[in-house]
């Protein structure tokens, strides 16, 4: 049984047809049938999916080529602001996000090791989150090379023009993702013009649950959804009379040098384990640990999507909105 973290009603199964990615160098176990894979009991830590070794030959692109690669030379290379919302007000009807502190600790350590100046804020209301984001965007980033924002919270669908989804403050009020991102675009944040702005969102994109579809024994075996698994979903209620206006798109600033990584496909839930943290953050942290020295960010995010997509009875696949102009390699100590 899945424990619904937000108590949203069970949606009917959605018949999706995702495409599974098979990355070079990865071998899949074809000895387990689909039915067996979906009914495998909880595995011991030593039996879980093992990360394949990083390629010995390193990246195919020259990291020093400024035409193809963002150049990170400053130390710290940029600010990293992490919002970790765990406990919500009673009148918000939002449950506590058990396991989120584990996610937060992993990402704090990981991004510090990747030369970011990390700051963490816990249990903020929507207005407080908005204020802290604006303060970050108003800083002078001229001596830094990039900026990174992580949001760990409940999420929902929202009406949008550019970036889908919204996140909840602890008071139950929402902030659209596109509002968050646009604080850092070239128009609003001049000192980050031409520099990469990265956003990692661990929150649901909606309330739909994907039961996936049977494949011909192509997926590596993984643990099933456990009783300690919750979702970060909140039902979407479109405000009366809200309609996207296509004519307004042309007047919006172009979101150049921005990447937004979502833990799940828009409209679907994102799963979080009370003990080990969310599938997305657990996998992202592991992939960064093994590949950050040799692979660019987009390649690593493909690995994250592939690994997360094999987990559990209910399925999840992370994705991103990418407006980066060059390859991004983290600065590793």
Higher-confidence residue of 46 and 114: namely 114
| CB-CB contact of 270 with 226 (8 Å) | no
75-124, pLDDT tens digit by residue?
999 999 999 999 999 999 999 999 999 999 999 999 999 999 999 999 99
* Residues catalogued as catalytic: 154, 204
Q: Name the average pLDDT for the chain.
A: 77
| CB-CB contact of 85 with 92 (8 Å) | no
Rounded CA separation 292/331 (Å):
8
Rounded CA separation 167/75 (Å):
31
Residue 203 has what pLDDT? 85
Rounded CA separation 326/333 (Å):
22
| CB-CB contact of 275 with 100 (8 Å) | no
Phi and psi (nearest 5°) for 121?
-120, 135
Q: Which domains does the chain have, with CATH numbers?
A: 78-212+229-234+252-322 (3.40.50.1460)
Of 149, 143, 142, 147, nearest to 191 (Cα)?
142
H helices of 126-274, in order, are: 126-137, 177-182
Give the Cβ contact number of residue 91 at 10 Å: 8
Rounded CA separation 169/187 (Å):
26
Residue 273 has what pLDDT? 84
Rounded CA separation 265/169 (Å):
21
Quick one: average pLDDT of 175-182?
A: 94
Query: Is the pLDDT assigned to residue 192 strictly greater than 90?
Result: yes
| Residue 267 banded pLDDT, cuts 50, 70, 90 | low
Rounded CA separation 136/183 (Å):
9
Residue 251 has what pLDDT? 37
| Residue 172 banded pLDDT, cuts 50, 70, 90 | very high
287-327, pLDDT tens digit by residue?
999 999 999 999 999 999 999 988 877 788 899 999 999 99
Give the Cβ contact number of residue 179 at 10 Å: 16
Residue 285 tokens read as: 């942290």
Residue 56 has what pLDDT? 54
Rounded CA separation 126/205 (Å):
17
Of 134, 136, 168, 154, nearest to 263 (Cα)?
154
- In this structure, the strands spanning 174-176 and 146-152 are unpaired
Sheet containing strand 166-168, strands side by side: 174-176, 166-168, 155-156, 233-234
| Residue in the block written with tokens 């929902």 | 156
Higher-confidence residue of 80 and 187: namely 80
Residue 280 has what pLDDT? 93
Residue 250 has what pLDDT? 36
Number of separate helices (H) and strands (E) present in the chain:
6, 13
Residue 276 has what pLDDT? 87
Higher-confidence residue of 230 and 62: namely 62
Of 150, 139, 136, nearest to 83 (Cα)?
150
Residue 241 tokens read as: 């009379």
């Amino acid at each position: 049984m899945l424990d619904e973290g937000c108590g949203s009603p069970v949606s009917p199964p959605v018949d999706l047809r995702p495409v599974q990615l098979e990355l070079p160098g990865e071998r899949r176990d074809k000895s387990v049938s689909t039915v067996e894979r979906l009914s495998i009991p909880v595995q011991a830590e030593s039996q879980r999916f093992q990360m394949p070794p990083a390629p010995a030959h390193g990246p195919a692109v020259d990291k020093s080529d400024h035409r193809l690669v963002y150049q990170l030379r400053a130390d710290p290379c940029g600010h990293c602001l992490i919002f970790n919302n765990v406990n919500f007000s009673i009148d918000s009807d939002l449950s506590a996000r058990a396991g989120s502190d584990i996610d937060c600790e992993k990402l704090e350590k990981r991004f510090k090791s990747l030369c970011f100046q990390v700051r963490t804020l816990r249990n903020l209301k929507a207005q407080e989150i908005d204020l802290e984001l604006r303060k970050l965007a108003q800083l002078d980033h001229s001596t830094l090379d990039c900026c990174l924002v992580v949001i760990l919270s409940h999420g929902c669908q929202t009406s949008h023009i550019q970036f889908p989804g919204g996140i909840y403050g602890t008071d139950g009020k929402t902030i659209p993702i596109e509002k968050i991102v646009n604080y850092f675009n070239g128009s609003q944040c001049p000192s980050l013009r031409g520099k990469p702005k990265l956003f990692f969102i661990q929150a649901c994109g909606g309330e739909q649950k994907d039961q996936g579809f049977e494949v011909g024994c192509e997926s590596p075996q993984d643990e099933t959804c456990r009783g300690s698994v919750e979702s970060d979903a909140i039902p979407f209620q479109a405000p009366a009379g809200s309609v996207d206006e296509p004519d307004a798109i042309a007047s919006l600033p172009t979101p150049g040098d921005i990447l937004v990584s979502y833990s799940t496909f828009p409209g679907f839930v994102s799963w979080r384990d009370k003990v080990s943290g969310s599938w997305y953050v657990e996998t992202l942290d592991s992939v960064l640990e093994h590949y950050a020295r040799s692979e660019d960010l987009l390649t690593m995010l493909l690995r994250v999507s592939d690994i997360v997509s094999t987990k559990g009875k209910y399925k999840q696949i992370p994705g991103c909105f990418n407006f980066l102009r060059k390859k991004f390699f983290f600065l590793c100590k």
